[in-house]
Amino acid sequence: MTKPFDELTSSQISKLYDLLGVHIYRFSKNQEILPTIKSENILAIILEGYAQIINIEYNGNEIIVEELFKDSIFGTNISATNSENCQIIAKQDTQVLVIDYEKLVNPSNLKHTYYNTFLRNIFDIINDKFKKTNERIKILEKKQIREKLLEYFEIEHKKSRFNYIYLQFSFRDLADYLAVNRSAMFRELKHLKEEKFIEIKDRRITLLYK
Amino acid sequence: MTKPFDELTSSQISKLYDLLGVHIYRFSKNQEILPTIKSENILAIILEGYAQIINIEYNGNEIIVEELFKDSIFGTNISATNSENCQIIAKQDTQVLVIDYEKLVNPSNLKHTYYNTFLRNIFDIINDKFKKTNERIKILEKKQIREKLLEYFEIEHKKSRFNYIYLQFSFRDLADYLAVNRSAMFRELKHLKEEKFIEIKDRRITLLYK
DNA sequence: ATATAAAAGGTGCAAGTGCAACTTTTTAAT
DNA sequence: ATTAAAAAGTTGCACTTGCACCTTTTATAT
């Protein structure tokens, strides 16, 4: 996957910083990132560390809507950040680069290839995020757990072409991703196992119908 | 909402067309757009007409995943277009402008403000789409119809600040948007009415708790 | 090596939902 | 003005799901 500064040398990166007038903020563990940077329209890049975008629901529930690792981007528009009900919390010591959205799309001087490369990288990253989001929507649109699972399998199968899926996260997280109750998901997985649709060994799910 | 050619004069637009080496395709009603334009990586703009992105599921079901009006953009990454299972069908006579993604982010000559304006518009449109998609995810993540409805109300209320929502589409479409069964949604709306949470008059839903 | 916590896996039950099959109302077409 | 089609609104029923509450297994820390 494309990263923000792919194909840029460190000297080009520092020139880019000047051109876009970036700011780098440092946050220590458990510090709030979002209400701190509250400029109207920004694009931010995690240079180092790890943070979480947390949504606070009207009933007080807190939900991790997105995880931000090194090279992740977030911003007023780009991520699940709707300011009012959102917090971004550094879960480790984290460095964040902040670019004013205006300057990103209207830099003072355009004729630098490094700016172009950067913008293209950002475009790529956003498009990739979009793709992933659309994948998830296709799953969430399914009404039943079985259909959600099968859609998820379908998408993962298409990516790897293997007839098995190796979960990169826990089954708990999978249930969150599918937005279903965890034990109800397990029940459905059991049914699929009984009907010889799938086999599960640790985090490897084999699709017997492929 | 931003449109692709906002703040550009017609002479700037034609210069932009040259710069980006665009192609304009014309489709008549019910003609396939997507398998026709099958370049690897493109960004397309509907100049005129109306089309639908249709997803064909493994069971044969066809679902309208997105509607494309004048000034809508779509593309390999930007929309719910995953090529294999997708069709885009012109539902009226439709003109489509197609830009090679490479040329969009790497035009031969950068020092034109009109290019800059255009790119910024596209960025804005993509970000807006992202916002809408994230809104929908927040709704779809809710497990129960009541919660989905309340989340939907919350989002719409925040946008307008009125204590009522005027549906821009039919209740059928709302059920599709929330990805729930239509009659089950009506049942829940009835409960909300009975509990004096809401009032419904035609397509106006009044939020009595606001 | 032992304790502790987290994840995996399971079950009964009540509540919620999808579905089919209606009726009534509204909108569009001839 | 009449007809047809689409949308709104309703209900019973079977099935699915969320939830609470378990046990067992695996991972992590001391």
Determine what percent of chain B falls in helix, strand and coil, rounding each to the nearest 5. Answer: 40, 25, 35
Between CA A40 and C1' C13 the distance (Å) reads 50
Q: CB count, 10 Å around CB of B189?
A: 19
Tell me the domains of chain B and their CATH numbers.
Answer: 10-139 (2.60.120.10), 142-207 (1.10.10.10)
- A160-185 pLDDT, tens digit per residue, is 889 999 999 999 999 999 999 999 99
How many angstroms away from the CA of B63 is the closest CA of chain A? 10
A174 touches strand D (CB under 7 A): no
Instruction: Let me know: does B162 contact B120? Beta carbons within 8 Å.
Output: no
pLDDT in tens, B56-97: 766 556 678 888 999 999 987 676 666 567 888 888 889 999
- Residue in this structure with the two tokens 């009012």, named with its chain if needed: A84
Class of residue A61 by CB neighbours under 10 A (exposed 0-12, middle 13-18, buried 19+) = exposed
Distance CA A85, CA A54 (A): 8
Predicted confidence band of residue B142 (pLDDT cuts 50, 70, 90): very high
Work out if A185's Cβ lies within 7 angstroms of strand D: yes
Q: Rounded to 10 degrees, what is the CA torsion of B125, B17, A106, A128?
A: 50
Contact A88, A74 (CB under 8 A): yes
Q: Rounded distance, CA A198 to CA A152, Å?
A: 13
- pTM (2 d.p.): 0.91
Q: Which helix (H) or strand (E) holds B198?
A: strand B198-201
Q: Shortest CB distance from A140 goes to which of B82, B154, B179?
A: B179
Q: Both tokens of residue B205?
A: 């839903």
Residue A156: the pLDDT is 94
Alpha-carbon dihedral angle through residues A206, A189, B55, B121, given to the nearest 10 degrees: -90
**pLDDT score for B82:** 60
